[in-house]
Structure 1
Amino acid sequence: MEAMIEKCAGLDVHQETVVACVLFGSLDQRPQKTVESFSTTTTGLLKLSDWLSSYHVTDVVMESTGVYWKPVWNVLESDFHLVLANAKHVKNVPGRKTDVKDAEWLAKLLRSGLIEGNFVPPEDIRDLRDLTRYRKKLIHQRTSEQNRIHKVLQDANIKLTSVLSNVFGVSGRRILEAIINGEKIEMRNLCEMVDGRTKASLADIANAMNGRIRRHHREMMRYHWEHMTYLEKSIEELEKQIDLCLEPYRKEVELLDTIPGLNKNGAATFIAEMGVDMSVFKSVKHLASWAGLSPGNNESAGKKKRVKLQKETKH
């Protein structure tokens, strides 16, 4: 393989240790090799950085395995040109496998320019990505709690979902809180609870509430309700933090918001996953592939087999 980088290193990263292999020497000669192991603690990674600098290493490659590469990246990114390799693309040749050989193999591929690095956004975008992904998880958890409340209502033979389009709207929340607190709801109370814009009549709502609710139902609903409201507060706080992170990208958010079907939250997610510098993608096709919207080809003997889109970005 033709060499392209004089001084480079390959890192085989694990939870507790990093095995580093440095290749250095003239491009037209066989490179010299040195291997060393380091701890993944901050002190150990700083020693790794100093060790790489002592050999005047310019480029460093590591595999994107789990989350173990992230602390290594955070320490080294300011001093070296880092390459994050897809583990599938740098699979070693068959034979005896060791950490040292893996690090050496990565260094050899990098030295010959045979590794195409994955996209790693800047630190502020990575922070935004953590927030938007966590918001998504909290929204899913809130929906799960709402579904559990629906289930309890059905078990208690309370048919609010048949008369209210959204049980967790203004009217529905007032009624649910009264039910959870064990209040006796009469027609005059119901008139105060139901919003004037509600399409269903008070008689229909009262009839739907005529169920067989027990103390057990109220207790279960209280557990789900308290967790749901806690999640809603957490989501609200996350939204504020996301807004702060988006301050430097207001123009990009406003531009994305002009796309039909894409709101502010969608714009924030787009920036968090793709960044704002589109020059890191070679073409529109590469961008679509990174987003998981470009299914691969699975063809054999002239027959095309079914392929699926990625459900969620895992980078």
Structure 2
Amino acid sequence: MNIKIHSVISDITGATGRKIIESIIEGERNPVNFLGFIDKRIKADSETIIKSLQGNWREEHLFIISESYEFYNIYQERISSCDKQIEKQLKVLELLHNYGVIDTEEPEWKSHKKKCKNHPEVDIRRFLYKIHGVDVMEIYGLSHIGGFEILAETGIDLSKWETEKHFVSWLNLSPNNKISGGKLISSQIMRKKPNPASIAFRNAANAVQRGNHWLGDYFDE
């Protein structure tokens, strides 16, 4: 179709982008009539937006965008179904941790972390707090998804690891020290496939390294 709306709207799957796509599928071709869909947060002026929506409306391209958008909506429905199942399992874990009691008191957060665009439709932070008894989101560098991945991989019973050293070794985050004659000859991490929990911890460490935090100074030494 040769339209350039993606150069004006950063997220074509946002509310504005979806309204424009739906209008195109329904038969609208006049760029001026799309202006009513533009969110006030979009910085481009009306003239730029109109120019970005001028194109040649070829039938085969219109068919492709219609089919693609239909599949996009189907995927969104399936993702929503998965989110509901995730929430169901988190409620089970909360009940197991609290001996069958649902705590209705809402926690107060000391800080707020920005959620990513594709964050599940589940209050992950609240569930993590109710299950662990502490706000793991206060761990600098750890994201909502990271905390959730760790829980999904380890479960709520950490007693299966005798000590924190056993846990770190299982995560493959500790050096595989090789000592000969009382001297350290190698300390490389073992080459084995990382599990989702170890990846989450690595991502958290990378976030600390990149972030403006006193812990980041440790990496600069």
Report the CA distance between 1:260 and its aligned residue: 3.5
Contact kept, 8 Å, 1:294 with 1:309, in 2: the verdict is no
157 and 313 in structure 1: CA distance in 2 versus 1, 3 angstrom threshold? same
Task: Please list the CA deviations of residues 230-250 of structure 1 after superposition, one character each: whole Å capped at 9, or x if unmatched.
Answer: 111111122122112112334
CA distance in 2, matches of 1:223, 1:289: 48
Report the CA distance between 1:223 and its aligned residue: 2.1
Pick one of 242, 249, 252 that aligns with 2:131.
252
CA distance in 1, matches of 2:146, 2:29: 43
CA distance in 2, matches of 1:311, 1:255: 25
CA distance in 1, matches of 2:172, 2:57: 46
CA distance in 2, matches of 1:295, 1:310: 15
Mapping of 1:270-289 within 5 angstroms? Answer: 270-289=150-169
CA distance in 2, matches of 1:177, 1:206: 17
Task: Please list the CA deviations of residues 88-139 of structure 1 after superposition, one character each: whole Å capped at 9, or x if unmatched.
Answer: xxxxxxxxxxxxxxxxxxxxxxxxxxxxxxxxxxxxxxxxxxxxxxxxxxxx
Task: Please list the CA deviations of residues 252-273 of structure 1 after superposition, one character each: whole Å capped at 9, or x if unmatched.
Answer: 3662233344454433322111
Mapping of 1:282-297 within 5 angstroms? Answer: 282-291=162-171, 293-294=173-174
More strand, by proportion:
1
Other-structure match for 2:40:
196
CA distance in 2, matches of 1:226, 1:201: 30
224 and 255 in structure 1: CA distance in 2 versus 1, 3 angstrom threshold? same
Q: Aligned residues: percent identity? A: 31
Max radius of gyration: which structure?
A: 1
Structure 1: tracts of 5 or more residues without a match = 1-155
272 and 172 in structure 1: CA distance in 2 versus 1, 3 angstrom threshold? same
Other-structure match for 2:75:
231
CA distance in 2, matches of 1:280, 1:294: 18
307 and 258 in structure 1: CA distance in 2 versus 1, 3 angstrom threshold? same
Other-structure match for 2:109:
none
Report the CA distance between 1:211 and its aligned residue: 2.7
Mapping of 1:16-31 within 5 angstroms? Answer: none
Does residue 186 of structure 1 match 2:66? no
Contact kept, 8 Å, 2:31 with 2:54, in 1: the verdict is no
175 and 284 in structure 1: CA distance in 2 versus 1, 3 angstrom threshold? same
CA distance in 2, matches of 1:180, 1:165: 21
**TM-score, structure 2 as length reference:** 0.57
Report the CA distance between 1:171 and its aligned residue: 0.8
CA distance in 1, matches of 2:3, 2:170: 46
Contact kept, 8 Å, 1:295 with 1:309, in 2: the verdict is no
Q: CA RMSD in A?
A: 3.3
214 and 238 in structure 1: CA distance in 2 versus 1, 3 angstrom threshold? same
288 and 160 in structure 1: CA distance in 2 versus 1, 3 angstrom threshold? farther
**TM-score, structure 1 as length reference:** 0.42
Paired residue type of 1:257:
M
CA distance in 2, matches of 1:226, 1:281: 47
CA distance in 1, matches of 2:55, 2:12: 16
More helix, by proportion:
2
Question: How many equivalent residue pairs?
Answer: 156
Mapping of 1:1-315 within 5 angstroms? Answer: 156-187=1-32, 189-247=33-91, 248-249=93-94, 250=127, 251-252=130-131, 255-291=135-171, 293-294=173-174, 310=193, 312-313=195-196
Task: Please list the CA deviations of residues 193-218 of structure 1 after superposition, one character each: whole Å capped at 9, or x if unmatched.
Answer: 11122112222122122233421112
Contact kept, 8 Å, 2:12 with 2:18, in 1: the verdict is yes
196 and 273 in structure 1: CA distance in 2 versus 1, 3 angstrom threshold? same
